[in-house]
Structure 1
Amino acid sequence: MAVKKAETGHRAARVGARITQELAVMLSQEFRDPRLEGVVITATKVSEDVSQAQVGFVLMGDDPGGIRAKVAGRRLDKLASMIRSRLAPRLGLRHAPELHFSLDANRDDLVRLDALLREVGEELKAAPARPERRPEARRAGLSGASPATAHRRRAPRGQAARPDFP
């Protein structure tokens, strides 16, 4: 009996992971609703009997006062039945779980991470390009050779290094 309980918990976790993946694809490719722009699905918790699913989401970008997040949450709740009907065949289930959307509690951490990633991206764009490694050394097969030893080639194993004669 304990094995069966572990299997159902594992099944719920697998279904939750698949729901998260499919919802991410649906939101990015199928729904052209401007109210859902910037919505990222973070996690899905599915009940053991796979009848209910709690879907966490965050809204990337600036959202002063959380107004956009509330609008996106209401829109997702309205679309839940349509999303559910599209999910069932994709998941290979006769009945997809009932979906309940909620703003993820880790939203602030994700917003800070998003801001840091944008800042790093801007710094990388503004940074000067890395200097090119010596192309003549690369062509001669001497990458990493210092100027003092650039005239030498690597000797085969067991033989001493010798100067390169033209």
Structure 2
Amino acid sequence: MSRRRSSERDGRGHSQRQLRVGEEIRHLLADLIERGNMRDPELRGASITVTAVDVSPDLRNATAFVMPLGGVDEARLLAAMRRAAPWFRARVGERAGLRYAPEIRFELDRTFDEADRIGALLRRPDVARDIEEE
């Protein structure tokens, strides 16, 4: 039997604290990436957007959703971000003021692709016809 977070069981979503900490971590990660002080040469000078950070209820795990500018070299930059995750964790831990520095996992943000796919579906003639009838 899989374990589910309490927020998934009762359908409420993330707590206010999770949202606030996630947004703070997002800002810290974006600032660190912008400064470009990483050792990894693949990350120095890279234009990477941190679109969102989801934090677990115990605030010990965070998933940062990132997207390279223009979607260029996604796999290479994601691998570099994952290699640099301990460095990001240490810097976030120093600045966030949390009891525990969260373990940070990086994932590509696919919401833009999904939005494009839905937009394309809505522009199809057969779908547009159905929408106009309502």
Q: TM-score normalised to the size of structure 2? A: 0.66
Measure the CA separation in 2 of the matches of 1:62 and 1:81.
Answer: 24
1:88 lines up with 2:93 in the alignment: yes
Unaligned runs of 5+ in 1: 1-5, 112-166
Q: Can you list the C-alpha shifts for 1:83-128, whole angstroms capped at 9, x where unaligned?
A: 10111121101321100100001244799xxxxxxxxxxxxxxxxx
Find 1:20's aligned residue among 11, 22, 26. Answer: 26
Measure the CA separation in 2 of the matches of 1:75 and 1:89.
Answer: 21
Measure the CA separation in 1 of the matches of 2:111 and 2:74.
Answer: 13
Q: Find the structure with the greater CA-based Rg.
A: 1
Instruction: Please say if residues 44 and 56 of structure 1, whose CA atoms lie closer than 8 Å, have aligned partners that are also in contact.
Output: yes
Alignment CA distance shift 1:57-1:110 (3 Å): farther
Find 2:111's aligned residue among 99, 103, 106. Answer: 106
Q: CA RMSD in A?
A: 2.4
Measure the CA separation in 1 of the matches of 2:98 and 2:85.
Answer: 17
1:35 aligned partner: 42
Measure the CA separation in 1 of the matches of 2:70 and 2:52.
Answer: 19
Q: TM-score normalised to the size of structure 1? A: 0.54
Count of aligned residue pairs for this structure pair:
101
Find 1:77's aligned residue among 78, 82, 104. Answer: 82
Unaligned runs of 5+ in 2: 1-11, 117-134
Alignment CA distance shift 1:62-1:17 (3 Å): closer
Measure the CA separation in 1 of the matches of 2:110 and 2:61.
Answer: 19
SS of the counterpart of 1:49?
coil
Alignment CA distance shift 1:46-1:87 (3 Å): same
